Amino acid sequence: MNRLMRASGSEGLSVVGLFAGIGGIELGLHAAGHETVLLCDVDEGAQAVLREKFTGVPLVGDIRELVALPSIELCAAGFPCQDLSQAGRTAGIGGEQSGLVNEVFRLVTETDVRWLLLENVPFMLQLDRGEAMRFLTRSLEGLGFHWAYRVVDTRAFGVPQRRQRVTLLASRTEDPRAVLFVGDEGEPETPKVEDVACGFYWTEGVRGLGWAVDAIPTLKGGSTIGIPSPPAIRLPNGFIGTPDLRDAERLQGFEADWTLPAAEGRRVGARWKLVGNAVSVPVARWVGERLLDPRSYEGASDEVLAATDPWPRAAWSTGEGARRADLSVWPVRESYQQLESFLDYDVAPLSERATAGFLGRAKRSSLRFPPGFLEDVSAHLEAVRARAVAA
């Protein structure tokens, strides 16, 4: 029997999770009252997690070997982002990995599934002048789907990770705007940098920083050869370190050690990759809750989106052309837990090599840094070197 049961008293949807990863979408949907009846992911580490956490749910490996979907109401697919991400190969929607979304379209073509839920990186709105998004929306329209998408930030749900992702919902029979476009709280005022922990990517420093105030920047999957790439955190006292993997899991909405089943026979970098590639659980939970409580959306004043226009943060089509919706990435504003107090595990000091490398790149760059930040990095480097000498 599945250990992740539906919420009491709810009438949730039956779900198939394609490209399920470690179950971020599925766990969030379960929390909202829905039930997964089939999972699919080709990664062996992800499979180990799914078998442990979704006991009794059938699991398929390669989506290309899945002949047909069972009778379901919702098909969810966090399809691969490697070819769409700014940090990845940017090969585009036709790339070897991200092009697998065509397998999703193949599977839903011959079904009467009520809902299709897709999730991916916001850079696909810009890549190839928006061609990836045009491909997705045209494919959906060709299959008779109405669609709506919205860029949503994980911070809106009280979790201190600045992670923005495109959530795209489509249906042949219902209005996806009634789900995704409910609520718009707007981004709150940013606290003072010196008062809170701030995250950044120590692997950068020339063209960008990934600076996030009272949050970490988006967790990444790491390198293609399994080297983990956790962000760095500068605490208010100037200490600079990297978060524990268990806190990274929590920052995605999972319980600590959620990916432990994937540890056997694999490097720790494999677990970081699984976490970085996952869908944030709170975002999926929000979608699941809205599916059970849709609200009407007028949209009469939404402007027509021309074919040459850049893709906005939110847009929709019910069969008569695409329109832009003026919505923020904060559909809700749940009670926010500050980054420093969120961390349950020790922050490991950023190594001498990593600190020196970042500092060197930063000093050569033309980037503007927050006041006192580079001084903190320099002081941390000296402290790390002093400890090494003392040892």
pLDDT digits (tens, 9 = 90+) for 35-77: 999 999 999 999 999 999 999 999 999 999 999 999 999 999 9
Half-sphere exposure of 269 (CA within 13 A, CB side): 9
pLDDT at 227: 65
- CATH 3.40.50.150 residue ranges of the chain are 14-187+278-324
Among 40, 75, 81, 198, the one annotated catalytic: 81
Please identify which residue in the block is written with the tokens 């349950």.
Answer: 344
Known catalytic residue: 198? Answer: no
Least confident of 98-107, 150-159, 233-242, 254-263: 98-107
pLDDT at 4: 43
Nearest of 110, 109, 93 to residue 101 by alpha carbon: 93
- pLDDT tens digits, one per residue of 189-207: 999 999 999 999 999 989 8
Q: What count of other Cβ atoms lies within 10 Å of the Cβ of residue 82?
A: 18
Question: Which phi-psi region, left, alpha or beta, contains residue 262 (left: φ > 0; alpha: ψ -120 to 50)?
Answer: alpha
Q: 279 near 165, Cβ under 8 Å? A: yes
Q: 319 near 141, Cβ under 8 Å? A: yes
Secondary structure (DSSP) of 100-153: GHHHHHHHHHTS--SEEEEEE-GGGGTGGGGHHHHHHHHHHHHTT-EEEEEEEE
Task: Give the list of residues 6+ apart from residue 160 with CB closer than 8 angstroms, or none.
Answer: 214, 215, 216, 251, 336, 337, 338, 339, 342
Q: Determine the CATH number of domain 14-187+278-324.
A: 3.40.50.150
287 or 90, higher pLDDT: 287
387 or 156, higher pLDDT: 156
**How buried is residue 74: exposed, middle or buried, by Cβ count under 10 Å (0-12/13-18/19+)?**
buried
- pLDDT tens digits, one per residue of 141-188: 999 999 999 999 999 999 999 999 999 999 999 999 999 999 999 999
- pLDDT tens digits, one per residue of 246-288: 999 999 999 999 999 999 888 888 999 999 999 999 999 999 9
| Separation between Cα atoms, residue 77 and residue 387, nearest integer Å | 47
- pLDDT tens digits, one per residue of 309-349: 999 999 999 988 999 999 999 999 999 999 999 999 999 99
